[in-house]
Amino acid sequence: MTGSDPIVRAVEAALFAAIEPQTVEQLRAQIGDEADIAGALERLVGDYAGRGVELVERGGRWHFQTAPDLAWLLRRETEQTRKLSRAATETLAIIAYHEPVSRAEIEAIRGVQVSKGTIDVLMEEGWVAPAGRREVPGRPLIYATTPAFLTHFGLSSRRDLPGLEDLKAAGLLDPVDLALEGALGTDATDDLSEESDSLLEMPDEGD
């Protein structure tokens, strides 16, 4: 275990006390600029490997979580997340694969209008947040997923999102869902660039 290393112990304590996942920069601000935060995190990952609680990194933020194989023990103690409507589920998927994306772009992909309440539900869950405005006439608000989205779905980054073939193989696409196939695009993950985490090509801003 961590032994008497003061930096490792301080990082461990800071993460246990934090109310939300922490970045390396946040930990360094708490513990000290000279502290080897990355090394301490690496030590803690090894120390907690195989235990009932493990240290994980999601989207550049670190937190302790229950080991996945023991999650069933706590299921009764956790608040049940509301079941998302089909509209909210489709909207979340479009934002995750296209982000940042505007309401009009979501509607263009789904083929129907998106009610304000649909996006509000996703924001209340903490999975989606405004990400600025697109620099086109009208400057529409654009939306993106949050670190809480990555944490909830067990993703280290958006590059871990399943591709279309993975969704088909898992039986997660029914005939109606296949209408989204044009939006997701076959082998979309092969087109990732160094500059963007997006798994999909955005429509031209002039469209």
Q: Which helix (H) or strand (E) holds 183?
A: helix 181-184
For residues 128 and 146, the answer to whether their CB atoms sit within 8 Å is yes
In terms of domains, do 133 and 109 share one?
yes
pLDDT in tens, 61-74: 999 988 878 776 66
Q: What is the DSSP string of 114-150?
A: --HHHHHHHHHTTSEEEEEE-SSTT--EEEEE-HHHH
Pick from 43, 71, 99: which residue ends a domain? Answer: 71
Q: Are strands 128-133 and 53-58 parallel, antiparallel or unpaired?
A: unpaired
By residue range, what is the domain housing residue 65? 6-71
- 91 SS3 class: helix
pLDDT in tens, 180-190: 455 444 333 33
In terms of domains, do 97 and 164 share one?
yes
pLDDT digits (tens), the chain, 207 positions: 555 789 999 999 999 888 889 999 999 999 998 889 999 999 999 999 888 889 999 888 999 988 878 776 665 544 445 577 888 888 888 888 888 999 889 888 888 888 878 888 889 888 899 999 988 888 899 999 988 888 877 777 777 777 656 555 544 444 444 444 554 443 333 333 333 333 333 334 443
Closest to 95 in 3D by CA, of 109, 81, 82, 116: 109
CATH of the domain at 125: 1.10.10.10
Quote the pLDDT of residue 179: 46
Is position 133 within any domain? yes
- 3 SS3 class: coil
Q: How many domains in the chain?
A: 2
- Which tokens sit at 42? 């690496």
Quote the pLDDT of residue 65: 86
Between CA 141 and CA 203, with CA 125 as vertex, the angle to 5 degrees is 35
Q: Which helix (H) or strand (E) holds 20?
A: none
For residues 39 and 50, the answer to whether their CB atoms sit within 8 Å is no
Is position 11 within any domain? yes
Q: Which helix (H) or strand (E) holds 7?
A: helix 6-17
200, 91, 141, 20: CA torsion to nearest 10? -90
pTM: 0.49
